[in-house]
């Protein structure tokens, strides 16, 4: 549960407080006003204030939940802990930290992804995926501002998205199947630096970003 609300909270404070509870309620009621009302009742918050805090619809609710996941992920590891890891371990740990927060809320996530997959919502879905990848890379210590800034986030967005598809149906103990899949995809990304060398090698096969990202989608490779 988030930090207790002040006696006279602002709408932003109510939004932050209720966001982690919304996915739990959305699993039953969908991402709608019923979920907001149920979350408000669960947290003993005024229903009208809760409704005002989430008055822009389902995508706004999902956005708030994903922001809460960002914050939970960031809080799990100190900079000292992350700094003691290799870069591969940092990214793996941060992705797994996100998944752990959603493990008991997979039905809410499934419904959220169905909403984001609707054509009108694809731009915001891409934005949310990019934001998650950017947050993970920044926590991992990435400071790139050139071409690498964009390739790293594009690749991690693809890794994270494909891992989510496995995670949603994973019934293995301790999410072993999801973690194994993630490990293979991270290994693919670690090979990216080697693949980039082909861009400047005279006469070499040119590296294809689209082909590389496509390979990240499949479980068996």
pLDDT value at residue 5: 75
Region of 9 (left: φ > 0; alpha: ψ -120 to 50; beta: rest) is beta
Model confidence pLDDT, tens digit, residues 87-105: 999 999 999 999 999 999 9
Could you tell me the pTM of the whole model?
0.85
Question: How far, in Å, are 45, 47, 71, 150, 193 from residue 7 at the CA level?
Answer: 11, 15, 23, 43, 52
pLDDT over 60 (residue 187): yes
For residues 102 and 69, the answer to whether their CB atoms sit within 8 Å is: yes
pLDDT over 80 (residue 2): no
pLDDT-derived band of residue 197, with 50, 70 and 90 as boundaries?
Answer: low
Q: What mean pLDDT is reported for the chain?
A: 88
């Amino acid at each position: 549960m988030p930090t207790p609300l002040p006696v006279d909270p602002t709408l932003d404070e109510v939004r932050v407080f209720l966001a982690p509870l919304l996915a739990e309620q959305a699993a039953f009621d969908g991402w709608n006003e019923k979920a907001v009302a149920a979350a408000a009742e669960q947290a003993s918050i005024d229903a009208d204030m809760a409704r005002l805090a989430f008055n822009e619809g389902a995508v706004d609710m999902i956005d708030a939940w994903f922001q809460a996941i960002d914050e939970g992920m960031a809080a799990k590891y100190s900079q000292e802990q992350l700094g003691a890891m290799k870069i591969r371990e940092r990214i793996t740990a941060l992705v797994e930290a996100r998944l752990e927060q959603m493990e008991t809320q997979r039905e809410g996530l499934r419904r959220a992804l169905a909403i984001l997959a609707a054509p009108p919502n694809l731009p915001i879905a891409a934005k949310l995926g990019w934001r998650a990848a950017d947050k993970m890379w920044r926590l991992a210590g990435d400071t790139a501002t050139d071409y690498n800034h964009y390739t790293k986030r594009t690749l991690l967005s693809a890794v994270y998205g494909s891992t989510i598809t496995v995670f949603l149906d994973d019934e293995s103990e301790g999410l072993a199947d999801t973690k194994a899949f993630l490990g293979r995809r991270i290994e693919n990304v670690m090979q990216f630096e080697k693949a980039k060398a082909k861009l400047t090698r005279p006469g070499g096969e040119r590296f294809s970003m689209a082909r590389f990202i496509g390979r990240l989608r499949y479980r068996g490779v």
